[in-house]
Structure 1
């Protein structure tokens, strides 16, 4: 007797990463608490990534850069990473200026093509 398995699509348990919402500017005294929150989310959910919604973080400045750098360090020490959601373009420019690179939600990872982008092929190009 053999068992063919259940009919239909297989069950997939897709994990959505936990989200940490930074809805207002954060003071220097609050940073250790946010780092504890990142470590706790990684530990309790088993996720490898915590999404940090930085849309409400306030005007970009060195305080925001320090916060994100410390959150990333806390996440890496816990075996994970952070991903930014809804960052201000000025914040991304400031992070780039100080040499910090973060994965941004909706961006293709390095080495991967962007979603929805198709390579244009010229009629005279040889098939690969």
Structure 2
């Protein structure tokens, strides 16, 4: 099974990031077209992120890593990022092994830890 690009861009509202579904093993010849699709989705929708649904890619290999790295590079050059949807544990492990970090849909973004809760003090009560 190979990826076939749909005609035109999907309708996306301002709150929904565009989704690029990656299905079947993707050949090297298809990678430049997919990078073009990521750039077009970022520019056409004004979104800052493109969600890449990777559930249908099959067993991960170095070709998958290369594809995702190129899609991220294309997105960054267009002023955005990609976010993965439904990556398998094997894909997570392979990406960790090669040192690539991707934002995954449904996981909290890395940011500053929440500050402690401050207690309210009643007037006339000594501060602790």
- 2:50 equivalent in structure 1: 50
CA distance in 1, matches of 2:49, 2:58: 23
Query: Residue 79 of structure 2 corresponds to which residue in structure 1?
Result: 79
1:65 is aligned to 65
1:39-94 residue CA offsets vs partner (Å, 9 max, x unmatched): 00000000000000000011110000000000000000000000000001100110
Aligned equivalents of 1:65 and 1:102: distance in 2? 11
The total of aligned residue pairs comes to 106
C-alpha distance in structure 2 between counterparts of 1:37 and 1:51, whole Å: 12
Q: What residue in structure 2 maps to residue 121 of structure 1? A: none
Report runs of 4+ in structure 1 exceeding 2 Å deviation. none
Please give the root-mean-square deviation of Cα atoms over the aligned residues, in Å: 2.1
Q: Tell me the distance in 2 between the aligned counterparts of 1:29 and 1:42.
A: 22
Structure 1 CA distance for aligned equivalents of residues 24 and 95 of structure 2 = 18
The TM-score with structure 2 as length reference comes to: 0.77
Unaligned runs of 5+ in 1: 1-12, 114-125
Q: Check whether the contact 2:20–2:50 (CA below 8 A) recurs between aligned residues.
A: yes
